[in-house]
Structure 1
Amino acid sequence: MHLHIKQADIGYDKTLISNADANLNLGEVCLLIGNNGVGKTTLIKSVLHQVPLLNGEISINNKNIKHLSVKEIAEHIAVVFSKSVIPQNHTVEDLISLGKYIYYPYYFELKKEDKKEVSEIIRELDLDQYKHIFLRNLSDGNLQKAFIGRALTQNSPIIILDEPTTHLDEKNKITILKTLRKLAKEQNKLILFSSHDWRLAKEFADKIWYIKDKTLYSGMVEDVLLQHEELINPSLFEVNKNFISPHILAPGLHKEMLYSLLQKNFQEDLSSLHFELQQKIWVISYNSLRHQCESFEEIVNFVKTIY
């Protein structure tokens, strides 16, 4: 089974994504990324056939989604949106149990094996202590985990999550993403999740779907990142429009830190400066001069002597 987008125009009254071609297979984790308003959520809703395509086709297991009923789509895809209606009088256990709804009549009694599965998912998501707590009393992070738990109990081969880590702290974010990757690899699930943070891709995703300028770029994480420098360029963190960056040669994290430091402290055009990190020492080249700094504080003080 796989998810296939073929020559699709995606949007509402106007096209947000044009002539999209992409596919994912079972066992793969894919990060959907792009700026606000480019069509990430619209793409997800199009896959669910909640927003009709303007042109082209989306198929699941070689079946056009246009020909699938709502129940059939639910059997294929479990989804978690970033903004979900909260059943106020449900507990965590109640919500996660609802993932079994597509397999039972509206009023149902869970089988023994279903109850065991629900308990295992609650434990996997570190929600044991909140099992009987009403959803209205949960933190945003634990509430998000509970909705993800409901998607997991649905046992659909495809799981789609719209910004699932938005309200999570670092520990819970890692818990969720490790759980999703484990599901993909051990239970042969196809996982598609959206986020603003491309850095999640390096650790948890196999593929990226990147939306930019009405185009959907897709491929292996490493290939897409290297083909689109803006994804790994620290200028993503621009807070000073007048700032012109110097040349920085350093590992990614150090490069980001230095870029952020300089744009916070300087309005000037720093393009005549060249920074290179050598054995924990920053070597700064300016005209024919070379200066060494051991700390970011030293860097700021030195640059101030120039500008």
Structure 2
Amino acid sequence: MFLELKDTTFGHKEALISKANTSLALGEVCLLIGNNGVGKTTLLKSILNQIPLLKGEIYLKNSLLKTLSSKQIAAQIAMVFSKAQIPANYTVKDLVSLGKYLHYPYYFELTKEDDDEVERLIHDLNLQQYKNFSLQQLSDGNLQKTFIGRALAQNSPMIILDEPTTHLDEENKINILKLLRSLAKTHNKLILFSSHDWRLAKEFADKIWIIHNKNLETGIAEEILLKHNELLNGRLFQMDDAFVPPHISAPEMEKEMLYSFLQKNFKKNLSDLKFTFHSNIWEIESSEIHYKCTSFTDISNILSKHL
């Protein structure tokens, strides 16, 4: 195994994650998920030896992490944080190229092979038209992609990314995740990334680490999700005590959308109504009415008339 956690407790003065035992191998993609404040970034920084462990040990390529120098860790792990300081007067190509200088003295020039790889990464990240732009000119999404490019140029066996898709639109999220999975499978790299977009991200992850009740639960992505029903199903939020919902028989997404629509527009007791969705038709039934509707506008008109 490339990365091993042995009875590892993460935190600052108090534990955020206790007694974690797990491992990851080269070629795997792992998604780290959990609510804000549960310790995701602390865990990632601890793997970089930037935050000391409260208990236990981390092993990197069979070496005890705390015995390694910063340069030795950087040779093994490239990191992309969700918020990073923007270097002054750097262009996109400058920042991506910076990943190469880990391997050379500061005064060294990149080889043609290095330069060709930087150009390829800029192309793969769809940043060609911004190659000579200063970083201050970039949108948040393109800036995020440029920092990812720097990490990829580093050519480390493992890449850690903290919320890498936060500032990206749907198309770019998919492109980045496809690229990361391709790197793992084609170039035998270990990818560990955190994300709130788990519905999309889990399509690209082999393993999931989920932080829950100060524990780190790990396993195959699909098996972890099946154990956590709260992740797979939409939640119906009660925003107003005056609203009493009807019985809704529908797939989760349609159920969630109807619940939202009714709660915003009808602050009443609707418990005597039954809504059933099938073949893109909503049926509304009670002891007094029976209607079929094709839109929320129809539903609104009918309820306004009868309530």
TM-score above 0.5: yes
- Which residue pairs with 1:240 in the alignment? 239
Alpha-carbon distance in 2 for matches of 1:138, 1:228 = 38
Give the TM-score taking structure 1 as reference length.
0.89
Query: Which whole-Å CA distance do the structure 1 matches of 2:240 and 2:77 have between them?
Result: 42
**What's the secondary structure of 1:235's corresponding residue?**
coil
> How big is each residue's C-alpha offset from its partner over 1:177-204, in whole Å with a ceiling of 9 and x where there is no partner?
1111111121111111111222123322
Tell me the residue number matched to 2:183: 183
Other-structure match for 2:81: 81
Alignment CA distance shift 1:51-1:288 (3 Å): farther
Map of 1:40 onto structure 2: 40
In terms of mean alpha carbon deviation, does 69-78 or 210-219 score higher? 210-219
Q: CA deviation at 1:274?
A: 5.2
The question of 1:62 aligning with 2:44 is answered no
Which residue of the partner structure matches residue 226 of structure 1? 226
Q: Write the letter of the residue equivalent to 1:216.
A: L
Structure 2 stretches lacking a partner, 5+ long: none
Q: Where does 1:1-307 land on structure 2 (aligned, <5 Å)?
A: 1-235=1-235, 238=237, 240=239, 242=241, 248-267=248-267, 275-284=275-284, 291-302=291-302
Residue 240 of structure 1 contacts residue 267 of structure 1 at CA under 8 Å; is this kept in 2?
no
Q: CA deviation at 1:25?
A: 2.0
- Give CA-to-partner distance per residue, 1:248-293, whole Å, 9 cap, x none: 5444433443343234334456667654432222345657976543
Q: Residue 279 and residue 75 in structure 1: after superposition, are their counterparts in 2 closer, same or farther (change >3 A)?
A: same
How many aligned positions are there?
306
- TM-aligned CA distance change 1:191 to 1:244, over 3 Å: farther
CA 1:49–1:259 in structure 2 vs 1: closer, same or farther (change >3 Å)? farther
| CA RMSD after TM alignment | 2.5
C-alpha separation in 1, matches of 2:277 and 2:79: 44
CA contact (8 A) 2:195 2:201 kept: no
CA distance 1:62–1:247, change in 2 (3 Å): farther
- Letter paired with 1:16: L
* Residue aligned with 1:167, SS: coil
Change (3 A) 1:235 1:101: same
Q: Do 2:82 and 2:163's aligned partners in 1 also have CA atoms closer than 8 Å?
A: yes
Question: What's the CA shift for 1:299?
Answer: 3.5
Looking at structure 1, the residues matched to 197 and 269 of structure 2 have their Cα atoms a distance apart, in angstroms, of 28
Q: Could you report, residue by residue, the CA deviation over 1:141-193 in whole angstroms, capped at 9, with x for unpaired residues?
A: 11111000000001111111111111112222222111111111211111111
Q: Aligned partners of 1:25 and 1:93: how far apart in 2?
A: 31
User: Retained in 1: the 8 A contact 2:49–2:65?
Assistant: yes
In the aligned structure 2, how far is the partner of 1:125 from the partner of 1:137? 17
Q: Relative to 1, partners in 2 of residues 1:73 and 1:265: Cα closer, same or farther, differing over 3 Å?
A: farther
Tell me the CA shift for residue 101 of structure 1. 1.9
Answer whether contact 2:96 2:146 (CA < 8 A) is retained.
yes
CA distance 1:228–1:107, shift in 2 (3 Å):
same
Unaligned runs of 5+ in 1: none
Higher mean C-alpha deviation, range 275-284 or range 44-53: 275-284
TM-score (norm 2): 0.89
1:263–1:57 CA distance, 2 compared to 1 (3 A): farther
- Relative to structure 2, which stretch is displaced further, 195-204 or 31-40? 195-204
Letter in 1 for 2:24: L
Query: Secondary structure in 2 aligned to 1:16?
Result: strand
- Within 2, Cα distance between the matches of 1:9 and 1:43? 9
Match of 1:23, SS? strand
Cα distance in 2, alignment partners of residues 158 and 178 from structure 1:
16
Contact 1:144 1:167 in 2 (8 A): yes
Taking only the aligned residue pairs, the percentage that are identical comes to: 60
- Map Cα deviations across residues 123-142 of structure 1 (whole Å, 9 max, x no partner): 00011111111111111111
> Following the alignment from structure 1 to structure 2, what is the Cα–Cα distance between the partners of residues 68 and 252?
49
Cα distance 1:168–1:67, how it changes in 2: closer, same or farther (>3 A)?
same
